[in-house]
Amino acid sequence: MAVQELSLLSLARHLIAAHRRGVQVKLVLENSYSTPWSDQQPSHLPKHQRHRWHQLQHLADADGDGITTAEEARQGDAVGLLLQAGVPLLDDTEDGSSGSGLMHHKFVVVDDRSVITGSANFTSSGIHGDAGKLRTRGNVNHLLRIDNPALAAAFRREFERMWGDGPGGAKDSRFGLGKGGQSDAERVQVGDVEIEVLFAPHPKRNPSHGLNWLAALLASAKHQIDMALFVFSAQQLANVLEERANDGVKIRLVADPGFASRSFSEVLDLLGVALPDRDCKLEANNKPFTQPIRGVGTPRLARGDKLHHKFAVIDNKTVITGSFNWSPSAAHTNDETLLVIHSPQLAKHFTREMDRLWNGAELGITPHIQRKLDRQRIKCGDGVERG
């Protein structure tokens, strides 16, 4: 299993039970989340990690009396329980570095024949909702299970690159650009479905990197592109979408409300506007569409939930998914999976999810985006610079 974060107690307990049955269980985490939270002091943590610590403490309060005892904390710490049980676990510092950009994978390989992967981290926020916030329903995510030994072997090879000889041995684990990167995506056949998988990152000079592949896939669209994206900050992809829109391809995009209004968000390009950052600088190579796309918006979610998908559907027959956000960091820094599945049947399922998010979404320049534009216009005036 390689996942950025694991805090689900039920999953940890099932992994421990499998380990005790003699099943070989190995786990790779992102180094920011590989330390038992019950061993940490919240005052020493950065803001995001401090918020996470309080969430996990709240979840660990088994009797709900508002006080998390030491025993409750011990029993409510998924990583702590795994380590106590002797489940082998390492993170992206095992190569001797301070960590890769992010160990951002989200995949499981079971018995060398099944792969579980998608956009979800194995956390309460990622699956169920935030502790103590009953209105939350969990981040908007998806998971796929694919039974195919050839695909499982491809994921197993990626895992073994990161695992090396395991925790505490020679520093032969490989993360980030240290893995060397593949030259091309691997292809496997699952029945009548072709699946392609690319593991990131790649150097910018490598033409097979993930953003180039995404650009080629988008450029191939003849009729329609649907996208549900957490992060969209790759100008290269926005430029391709403008070309396809100008050629009459129907484009729909729903983006995470928290990300859509950031100064480096390409969602703004599709809406035909530019938002300078706090220093009154525009993103380098910023290029708002001359003809804004009407089919761009943000879904209505419970406060605290995020749209965490990273998927697209092209011409109702090709699905793009994985852990790979549409960003330069995903292509060139992080450990990521980019999966392309050529299946009209699967495309229907993702289109149904797209329609669900689309219904009731706020389309166009939302009031929140407009307020940010107005504030920066007042602050920056005519003093906007290009980055």
Helix (H, G, I), strand (E, B) or coil at 240: helix
In the predicted model, what is the mean pLDDT of residues 53-61? Answer: 92
Q: Is pLDDT at 383 greater than 80 in this prediction?
A: no
pLDDT in tens, 81-99: 999 999 999 999 999 998 8
Note the pLDDT of residue 180: 79
pLDDT in tens, 137-194: 899 999 999 999 999 999 999 999 999 999 998 889 999 999 975 678 999 999 999 9
Per-residue confidence band for 230, with pLDDT thresholds at 50, 70 and 90: very high
> Where in the chain are all domains bearing CATH 3.30.870.10?
2-163, 185-385
Note the pLDDT of residue 181: 59
Q: Is pLDDT at 136 greater than 90 in this prediction?
A: no
Place of tokens 């092209």: 314
| Non-local CB neighbours of 264 within 8 Å, separated by 6+ positions | 233, 277, 283
In the predicted model, what is the mean pLDDT of residues 289-307? Answer: 95
Q: Is pLDDT at 359 greater than 70 in this prediction?
A: yes
- Structure-model confidence comparison of residues 48 and 20, the more confident one: 20
User: How far apart, in whole angstroms, are the C-alpha atoms of residue 249 and residue 247?
Assistant: 6
Q: Does domain 2-163 have CATH number 3.40.50.150?
A: no
Claim: this prediction has a pTM higher than 0.85 = yes
Which of the listed CATH numbers 3.40.50.150, 3.50.50.60, 3.30.870.10, 3.40.30.10 matches domain 185-385?
A: 3.30.870.10
Note the pLDDT of residue 91: 98
Q: For residue 275, which of 343, 190, 375, 187 has the smallest C-alpha distance?
A: 375
Note the pLDDT of residue 173: 96
Place of tokens 């599945």: 341
In the predicted model, what is the mean pLDDT of residues 300-322? Answer: 97
